[in-house]
Structure formats: C-alpha cells, structure tokens
Amino acid sequence: EAQVTQNPRYLITVTGKKLTVTCSQNMNHEYMSWYRQDPGLGLRQIYYSMNVEVTDKGDVPEGYKVSRKEKRNFPLILESPSPNQTSLYFCASRKDRGYSYEQYFGPGTRLTVT
Amino acid sequence: GQNIDQPTEMTATEGAIVQINCTYQTSGFNGLFWYQQHAGEAPTFLSYNVLDGLEEKGRFSSFLSRSKGYSYLLLKELQMKDSASYLCALILSGNTPLVFGKGTRLSVIA
C-alpha cells in the first residue's frame, strides 16, 4: 500500500530534550516536506527536500533540522524543543514531475513540549 | 507570497449544496489543489485543476478560473461526514512547495 508513515504519533516531552520524528514513504517520491499546523494559522511549511542531500527552508524553519540521506526517509529533528513548538506535525511526499503533483500526507505527530 | 484567501467558516444543511471559494494573487502556477481534512487527521486529496473549467468527481466538483484568480469547491448532497476543513493550495512548479490557504471549516447541520 502506498503510504507515508510517521513516528511517533504522539509525544510529550520537556523543554531542551532533543527529539526526532521519523518520516518514510514507499512511493519513490523525489519531493518530501514537513509542515506544522496550528489553530488559526493553517499548514505552514518547515523544510522541504527535492531529492537526496537537497534540503531547503520553508516558512518557519527556526528550531528545526532535517536530513535526506536516503530517498525514502526525511526525519525532522528538534535539537532543543521549546513550548512554542507544541503543534501537530505532518510529513508529506509527492513526485516532482508529471501531470499530477498530488501530495500524500502522513498521519501526523502531535507534539507537546512542557 | 501567493496570498491565498478562503472564508474561515461556513455552515450548511444536510442534503444541500455548498460552494467554498478560494482566491489567490499569483499569475503563474502549475495547478490548484483542494484537500479535505477532518479534525486531527491528515489532509486527503480531493481534486487538482490545471486548466480553467469544472472538474467533476462524484458529489464534489472543483472549478478554476485563472483569469479571475479564483477557484471554488462545490459539494452536493451534503452529508454529516462532510463536516471538515477544506484546504485550497497552489503549486507553482514541480520543484516548489505546495502553498496552502488557511482552510475553510465546514459544519453540516441536520
């Protein structure tokens, strides 16, 4: 089954404790991205990657890191989480060419930083 | 930016038809998406318009007018399960991010 997976789905952590949210897709998509979603603000892009070893900042990259060492994986790293990073996070992937650029989303990770 | 605007909230009655509008300020883009998102869940793909005109898919239709800078999503025969947020998004090119509007929260009432 074609899908994007994220882990963990739920995480409660404390300020300053490094964490990683994993993201993996099995569709051989070139393009992957991370969003955060907050009430009233909609989906905002954190980072995106057009292919292996190619990453770019989105609209709200501060406090986050990413890596793209393999095509299928795109982890999101919070080196020193803070309460303002409490949010719902989505990973997504799509092809970067062709007629349809349909973007597939992972199930989401709800992060709470206390 | 692309300044994608959608109404924040709408309410409609079960069985009725509702139109959700999306306006944007950009001239060059590959296409426009509509996604549905139930509370706390991931967005799911509804439609993708490249050319002007209406694309119909069951109870859902999406319209695009590039010259007028707007799109709409039409939902017919509304059901309670259609209560969700509807997100409009633009893609400028194959190697650029999708840019989302803030979404329209639709409530379907009996």
A35 vs B28, residue with greater confidence: A35
> Taking 70 as the threshold, does the pLDDT of residue A99 lie above it?
no
At residue A112's C-alpha, the angle toward residues A111 and A114, to 5°, is 150
> Taking 60 as the threshold, does the pLDDT of residue A18 lie above it?
yes
A114 touches chain B (CB under 8 A): no
Tens-digit pLDDT profile for residues B26-71: 878 889 999 999 999 999 999 999 999 999 999 999 999 999 999 9
For residue A43, which residues of chain B lie inside 8 Å, CB to CB? 43, 87, 100, 103
Whole-number pLDDT of residue B1: 52
Mean pLDDT of A88-92: 97
The two tokens of residue B42 are 């991931």
Closest Cα of chain B to A108: distance in Å? Answer: 6
Whole-number pLDDT of residue A98: 62
Nearest residue of chain A to residue B49 (CA atoms): A100
The rounded distance, in Å, linking the Cα atoms of B93 and B108 is: 35
> Taking 70 as the threshold, does the pLDDT of residue A7 lie above it?
yes
Question: What percent of chain B has a predicted confidence (pLDDT) above 90?
Answer: 81
Mean pLDDT of B90-98: 82
Name the residue among A58, A81, A56, A67 with its Cα closest to residue A23: A67
B94 vs B99, residue with greater confidence: B99
User: Which of B6, B95, B96, B99 to substitute to test the interface with A, most A CBs within 10 Å?
Assistant: B95
Tens-digit pLDDT profile for residues A45-68: 999 999 999 999 999 999 999 999
For residue B42, which residues of chain A lie inside 8 Å, CB to CB? 90, 105-108
pLDDT band at B93 (very low <50, low <70, confident <90, very high): confident
The two tokens of residue A42 are 């909609």
Compute the count of residue pairs across chains A and B with CB atoms less than 8 Å apart.
Answer: 54
Q: Would you tell me how many other CB atoms lie within 10 Å of the CB of residue B8?
A: 11
pLDDT band at A22 (very low <50, low <70, confident <90, very high): very high
The rounded distance, in Å, linking the Cα atoms of A76 and B35 is: 24
For residue A58, which residues of chain B lie inside 8 Å, CB to CB? 97
| Contact criterion met (CB < 8 Å) for B42 and A100 | no
> Taking 90 as the threshold, does the pLDDT of residue A40 lie above it?
no
Nearest residue of chain A to residue B36 (CA atoms): A105
> Taking 90 as the threshold, does the pLDDT of residue A69 lie above it?
yes
Whole-number pLDDT of residue B11: 98
